[in-house]
A and B are shown apart, each in its own frame.
Chain A
Amino acid sequence: MALVTHHPDPVAPAPGVRPLPARRRIRLPGGALLGVVPFFAYVVVFLAIPTLVVAIGAFTGDSGGFTLDNVARLGDSYILTAFGRSILLSAVTALVGAVLGALLGYALVTAKPDGLLRRVVTAASGVLAQFGGVTLAFAFIATIGLSGFVTEFLRDRVGVDIYASGVWLFELPGLLLVYTYFQIPLMVIVFLPALDGIRPQWREAAASLGGSTWQYWRMVAMPLLAPPFLGATLLLFANSFSAYATAAALVSQGSPIVPLQIRGALTSEVVLGQQNLGKAMALGMIVVVAIVMWLYALLQKRSAKWLG
């Protein structure tokens, strides 16, 4: 999911941002085409074929043949609930992650560009953004799980039982917390280049023309940062919407979100023959992401008008 954002501003491009070349049809010689064959092959094998398998399976009956049953079953209340929870979980963790990540990123840009603080935080973000799945789930269980050391310390020394009102770590609230944990560093990584593009001279220019801080943000920085911010938020949404391993390691009851419902459909030894229902749910996830992408495109158009 590459998110290409164009600078809408007529101002000189920031350092590190290459100006777009003038539109010109460039004819690729055959040799250059050969160079992209591996990439296309990769995309076909790992993206196109699985998507096709899912799409075809969603409309295939248990014994073969075309059917709409699987897609119709997406209307079952428990599946709709799972979709609702998945979207809520992804939206909340994407927004919280985006806002906190952006603030952290902004704090970093004000630090020395090659200073220790910035190097340490970006390196840590690079690691933590990819720190998911079973390892992350275990880290949380060992820390604030039922017999995690923080839980035990709080209970025995401070007298606070964090699970007084239920074992929330293994339910949706737990997923919110754990997902946010990897969303923030991811935001730092993807949003930092955009923040770097904001040049201090613009702020000085705005100030010397009598603009207030608010006016600078409202008329210069925000219009510049809005598209990459929205794009990054979308990336975060998709990141948590499709996350599976972390949830699978934490949640073993009730399958609150769609990826876990798909697991149930594929592996259940109680209810058999639901493989294609699983594919229909996967197709539903693809549709949700497509709708979000479309909304994002719409929003970007609007915001360009509104801010420009």
Chain B
Amino acid sequence: MRIAVARTVAVLAASAGLVGVVACAPPEKDNAGSGSSAAVATSAAELGGLDKLIEEAKKEGQLNVIALPPDWANYGEIIKAFSAKYGIKVNSAQPDAASQDEINAANQLKGQSGAPDVFDLGDAVARANVPMFAPYKVTTFDEIPAALKATDGAWVNDYGGYMSIGYDSSKVPAPQSVADLLKPEYKGKVALNGDPTQAGAAFSGVVMAALGSGGSADDIAKGVDFFGQLKKNGNFLPVDPTPATIESGQTPVVIDWDYLNVAQGAKLKDKTTWKTVVPQGAVVGSYYVQAVSKDAPHPAAARLWQEFLYSDEGQNLWLAGGARPVRADAMDQAGTIDKTAYAALPVTTGEPVFLTEAQTAKAKETLTANWAKAVG
């Protein structure tokens, strides 16, 4: 029922969009995605080089992106820069949507000009929907670590971060490790960004707690126990942290991605002294996933967007937003990285841990069965 209504609304919205496009765009030949050679190109070289791709993309003149909040990893600036550089209009739909909403939109708007061209997805949703992606290798594909891309370029990790502890240094002492948070100084002060059975960030927060309490990526039960203990000590705050709760001092300690904590600190620098630390020996990393939609209505613009994101310029723009771009190491060696922004990232000590698919599946089971018990 709800889905049917949503679909109707989507169709109506899309048709309205269509009318809008028709009304204000210069007459051009209809380039339905599948018709152009860009739709099947797996690299710029196949089209005859980057210049040819730019030319095709400019002909399309538009790009549909979805679920990109302007204040998330600097996406607002990235969209502006891309638009200015190539003269392509970027239509940004539902900036606050979740990963699953991107997939739903692609399915519901399939074959229409308003469908999303590109995806920026959380890991779980991306893995579940690989058949919807068009394989494409950007020019800098070889500089991306092998573990962070599909061999055929169907999906590529784009930017990521490490789980961190953000804290208001005027209210609490600086935590050195995960275990520090159990101390009485943190009574009623520690919040986790979301419910780990629902939100990716919180899920990784529990993994970080597991690593910091003698658990491992294979068995995160100790992470659940840690939060159980945190609650028993009266330190756990079952409140969803937002910029408002941080500013008002309700959530003096927040477990969240470092790029989000760093961004909070920058935003509130006149009001609070918000610092970010990645705990020693519990470095949990996770990257988001970038992919081109198989049914992209603007296949050339979609591929050019990828080229832009993985160019030095695009990677440095993500870095400016506190996120760690996937080519950071290669750019650091080549000296093309924005050194100031790179140095401003929280320091990490220890080998970062990235969960494998099997580990993630096992961790989910542990969480689903035990989380409510531990913090309920």
Write the residues of chain A forming the contact surface with B, with a CB cutoff of 8 angstroms: 49-50, 53, 76-78, 81-82, 85, 145-147, 163-167, 170-172, 251-256, 263-264, 267-273
Q: Among A53, A147, A269, which residue has its beta carbon within 8 angstroms of that of B249?
A: A147
Across-interface contacts of B234 in A (CB, < 8 A)? 164-166
Report whether A256 and B372 are in contact in the complex, using a CB–CB cutoff of 8 Å: yes
Give the nearest-CB partner of A168 in chain B: B238
Interface residue SS majority, chain A? loop
| A168 to B249 alpha-carbon distance, docked (Å) | 18
Check A269/B237 contact, CB under 8 A, given A78-B368, A78-B372, A255-B197.
no
Q: Is B107 an interface residue (CB 8 A)?
A: no
The residue that B195 contacts in the complex, of A49, A165, A255, with Cβ under 8 A, is A255
Chain A: minimal CB distance from B196 (Å): 7
Binds A, one of B12-20, B45-53, B122-130, B309-317: B122-130
Q: Quick check: is B94 within 8 A (CB to CB) of the other chain?
A: no
Contacts A82-B372, A252-B240: A272 and B100 contacting too (C-beta < 8 A)?
yes
Within 8 A of A (CB), among B216-256: 231, 234, 236-240, 248-250
Identity of the chain B residue whose Cβ is nearest the Cβ of A77 in the assembled complex: B369
Tell me which residues across on chain B come within 8 A of A252, comparing CB atoms: 194-195, 238-240
- Of A77, A172, A270, the residue contacting B197 (CB under 8 A) is A270
| Extra pairs beyond A76-B369, A267-B100, A268-B199 (19, CB < 8 Å) | A78-B371, A78-B373, A81-B373, A81-B376, A146-B250, A164-B234, A165-B234, A167-B236, A170-B239, A171-B238, A253-B195, A254-B376, A255-B372, A256-B376, A264-B197, A268-B197, A269-B125, A270-B367, A271-B197
Determine if B248 and A269 form an interchain contact, defined as CB atoms under 8 angstroms apart.
no
User: Which residues on A sit within 8 Å (CB–CB) of B125?
Assistant: 269, 272
Q: For B197, B240, B371, which residue has the most chain A Cβ atoms within 10 angstroms?
A: B197
Contact of B239 among A146, A172, A256 (CB under 8 A): A146
A270 with B250: CB separation less than 8 A:
no
Point out the residues of chain B lying under 8 angstroms from A267, CB to CB: 98, 100, 198
Complex-state Cα separation, A50 to B376, whole angstroms: 30
Contacts of A264 in B (CB 8 A): 195, 197-198
30 A-B interface contacts by CB (under 8 A): A53-B1, A77-B369, A77-B373, A78-B373, A82-B372, A145-B250, A146-B188, A146-B237, A147-B248, A147-B250, A164-B234, A171-B376, A252-B238, A254-B195, A254-B371, A254-B372, A255-B195, A255-B197, A255-B372, A256-B376, A267-B98, A267-B198, A269-B98, A269-B125, A270-B196, A270-B197, A270-B198, A270-B200, A271-B364, A271-B368
B residues within 8 A CB of A268?
A: 197-199
Say whether B375 faces chain A, with CB atoms less than 8 Å apart: yes
How many angstroms between the C-alpha atoms of A143 and B375 in the bound complex? 24
Contact A167 B237 (CB under 8 A): yes
A226 to B364, CA, bound (A): 49
User: Which are the 7 A-B pairs with shortest beta-carbon distances?
Assistant: A252-B240, A253-B238, A268-B198, A254-B375, A254-B376, A170-B238, A146-B250
Q: How far is the CA of A78 from the CA of B374 in the complex (A)?
A: 11
- Chain A neighbourhood of B237, CB < 8 A: 146, 167, 170
Q: Is B162 among interface residues, defined by CB-CB distance under 8 A?
A: no
- Choose one: B99, B239, B375; the contact of A269 (CB below 8 Å): B99
Residues of A within 8 A of B159 (CB): none
| A163 engages B195 (CB within 8 Å) | no
Q: Is the CB of B373 within 8 A of A163?
A: no
Of B98, B370, B376, most buried by chain A (CB within 10 Å of CB) is B376
Docked Cα-Cα span, A263 to B237, in Å, equals 21
B236 — which chain A residues lie within 8 A by C-beta?
167
Smallest CB separation, A43 vs chain B (Å): 14
Find the B residue at minimum CB distance from A275: B3
Contact between B375 and A253 (Cβ–Cβ < 8 Å)?
yes
Asked if B155 lies at the interface with its beta carbon under 8 angstroms from chain A, I say no
Let me know if B203 is at the binding interface, CB within 8 A: yes
Inter-chain contact B199/A269, CB cutoff 8 Å: yes
In the assembled complex, the Cα of A263 lies from the Cα of B195 at a distance in Å of 11
Please, which residue of chain A has its CB at the minimum distance from the CB of B189? A146
CA gap between A31 and B255 in the complex, in Å:
65
- In the complex, A40→B370 CA distance in Å? 45
Residue of B nearest to A171 (CB): B238
Judge if B73 is at the interface, Cβ distance under 8 Å: no
